[in-house]
Every structure is written in C-alpha cells, then in structure tokens.
Amino acid sequence: MSAPLRVETNIHDDDLWSDEDDLLLLETCTENSEVNCLEQPETHPSDSSTAASVKSKNTADTNNTTSSDHELPPLQRYRPNYLWVSDLTNQKWCEQKMVYSFTVPVLVEENPTMTAGSTLHLARELAVHDVVRVQITSNEDIFAIKLMNLLTAIVGFLNGLTVAREVPIFGTPFDEDVLVIGVIDELRFDPESYIIDLLELKTRKMKSLPKESQLSQHRLQVMVYKKLFDDLVKGKLSKETVARHLKLSLEKQFGESISKHLEDKLITSKNLNNLFDFVFMKIQAMTCVSQVIIEYVHQDSHETMLHKEVFYDDDELRTQFVQLLKFWKGERKPVGVDIEESYKCQCCEFADICEWRAQKAEEHALRRTQQQNKAVS
C-alpha cells in the first residue's frame, strides 16, 4: 500500500491565526533543500486527539517594495499570486490586521500557547504517519510531495484505512481563477458506506467555548476545505490550471529523491503531468465530503470541549469568497472590524497605528457630539 509523504514545516499557528499550510511551498525551495516527510506505518492507531499548527510569516518586505509593486493587486503584492486558506481566515478575522501583518514588521515569537497547539497537532499526525525525508530540487518536486500526500490519503482509504491526517488540498473555487492551497486536519472514511467526513481540530488555552466571530472564522476555513476537496472529486480542477498559477512545468522531470520515492511506491510518474493524472483519477473515485466537524480541545487536559458540526452552504461560501477576493484582486480597499467586534482591537498588535480604528473612534466621537448638541437644542 502506498505510504504518505508529508512536508514538515517549522511554522506554527495559534488558535486565532489558524491553519496549517506549509509555507515551504514555492517560497523557500532552494536547490537540494531537504524536507521531512511522514510515512504511514503498517499498524495505524485510531484517531487519538491532538492538533497541528502554523503561523503565517510576513511575506512583504516593505524596504524592498518599489513604486510598481504598489500598483499590483494585493494577490501579487502580498502573495505570490495564490492564497493559503489561512489568508482567507486571517482576512475574515480582520482584513486590516492582515494587511498590517504584510506591511508592518513585527517580531513573531513562538509562545507557549502556540507550542502546545503545535505539539498536540504533531502528536495526532504522528499517530497515523511515519517520517521519511526526501531531497527537493525544484518547485515541481515540492508540489509532487503535496500530490503524494493527497494520494496516500486516498489510496489508504481504498485499502481499508479510515483516518488520514494533514491532507494537502488545493483548487480554484467558484471559477474565480484564484488558486487556494490548504491542508485538511483530518479526513475520516467509512469503507462500507464510502462516506468521508472532514474534521478540523482547534486547541484552546482557556477552558471556554469560542466566540461567535471565531466560530465563523473556523466555519469559513472548513467550508473552503470541503469545497476544494469536492471540486477535486468532481473533476473540476485541471492540472494546467494549477501549473499556470504556480508557474510549474508539467513536463519537468522530478529530482532523484522524489523519483526514487515514487518508484518505491510503484508509481511510474516522472513528472507532474503523469502524477496529476494519476492522483486526479484516484480522487475522482471517492465521494464528496459528507459531515464537516470542528473539534475544540482544551490544551492542558486534552479534553474535547465542543464537537461542532458545520452546515455547509455553497451559496453562503460563494458570497463570502467573492467578497474576500475583491480585496485580493484590488477591487476594493481593506476594511477593519465593525464596532460590534471592536474587542478584537484590544489584543491587536497594530492597534496603536491602526488608521481604521482611529477613523472609527473619530466617527464615534462626532456622533456623540451631534447627539449631545441635539439634546441641548
């Protein structure tokens, strides 16, 4: 049976800035870089509990921007023409904050909460995978690893496994021609009914349930995952589209290490052209995601506090997605939080410099003055 490859990154998230996209992809690939991968063991324990982590690092170096950079839409100015699912969820929390995170240098330090979340995620992942190491020599090699990890999950299901973790996913939802990449925490497969469920694990430092704004952020995340997975099952994504967005060559031969790993798995693909075909064929034999669940786990006790089933609404997701993408395409300016969610500003590292917040405070003060003047007259 095919074993999973998993790129291991040093990137961490906390409960708020969630997600687990491997930012290695196409950003830090250097000649002969070595990456860690995970391989499925012969025996595989059932789903124990834990979590994964990622922290988006700032990608824009303000010192290196040129006047022509400022004319580019945010998708190219702040991102290399594609998005991570975490970009969308960060944007959902506060778009203005996300923009500051790209443009204002901040010291990103790993805190104990992030470390605990990472440890829980890693432990859960290692429960179903073993680590293997491969040498990467090109961006095509890196994407081949993503495809292999996805393939391993699918082939594992077809061979009787019921759980796959850290499953790469990608696509161009709703024909918006923007590539989105992410990693699904967990897929659960019922071999009898062929039903696939999607589970996202969120660790919480405090033993309290998430606020509505956090729930809606997480809901967006898992709905995007389901959309990406289902689109692959339905054959809606072409290899040419992925290659065009990521500037990959479909014909370029994989490096020696990747080729050897594929051979070990009895996969004859020598380039992305063949590997895409093989992976797409396998995933199109699966069914779309049925249930979508978010599990909230207390970090210290590992106790599950909430098992929330998410109702997937395609129209709602489309509306949100299109609105979020208007910013990335440069069709509208970034916005900060509404007054009802101003509590988010209290823990925002950009609060002191935030122009959106200052403007809202001015508007609020003006309204109060007008009301007072009205009351007096």
Is the Cβ of residue 347 or residue 376 nearer to ligand SF4 in the bound state?
Answer: 347
Is the Cβ of residue 177 or residue 212 nearer to ligand SF4 in the bound state?
Answer: 212
DSSP-assigned letters across all residues of 187-256: EEEETTTTEEEEEEEEEESSSSPPPHHHHHHHHHHHHHHHHHHHHHHTT---HHHHHHHHT--SSSBPPH
H/E segment holding residue 84: strand 82-84
- Residues near ligand SF4 (CB under 6 A), total: 14
- The least CB distance from residue 55 to ligand SF4, in Å, is 17
How far is it between the farthest Cα atoms of the chain?
85
- Distance CA(228)–CA(179), nearest Å, equals 10
- Distance CA(322)–CA(178), nearest Å, equals 10
Going by C-alpha positions, the residue among 309, 305, 288, 286 that lies closest to residue 297 is: 305
169 pairs with which residues across the strands? 182
- Contact indicator for 21, 54 with CB cutoff of 8 Å: yes
Is the Cβ of residue 16 or residue 305 nearer to ligand SF4 in the bound state?
Answer: 16
- Contact indicator for 193, 33 with CB cutoff of 8 Å: no
The contact pattern for ligand SF4, residues 307-336, with x = CB under 6 A and - = no contact, is: -----------------------------x
- Distance CA(154)–CA(109), nearest Å, equals 36
By the rule CB under 6 A, 97 interacts with ligand SF4: yes
Binding to ligand SF4 in span 348-377, by CB under 6 A: 348, 350-351, 354, 356-357
By the rule CB under 6 A, 96 interacts with ligand SF4: yes
Residues 6+ apart with CB under 8 A from 375: none
- Scanning 3-11, 23-31, 160-168, 340-348 for contacts with ligand SF4 by CB under 6 A, the matching segment is 340-348
Binding to ligand SF4 in span 99-158, by CB under 6 A: 100
Is the Cβ of residue 148 or residue 354 nearer to ligand SF4 in the bound state?
Answer: 354
Is the Cβ of residue 226 or residue 357 nearer to ligand SF4 in the bound state?
Answer: 357
- Contact indicator for 39, 144 with CB cutoff of 8 Å: no
- The least CB distance from residue 193 to ligand SF4, in Å, is 44
Is the Cβ of residue 96 or residue 299 nearer to ligand SF4 in the bound state?
Answer: 96
By the rule CB under 6 A, 171 interacts with ligand SF4: no
By the rule CB under 6 A, 92 interacts with ligand SF4: no
By the rule CB under 6 A, 337 interacts with ligand SF4: yes
- The least CB distance from residue 343 to ligand SF4, in Å, is 9
- The residues binding ligand SF4 (CB under 6 A) are 94, 96-97, 100, 336-337, 344-345, 348, 350-351, 354, 356-357
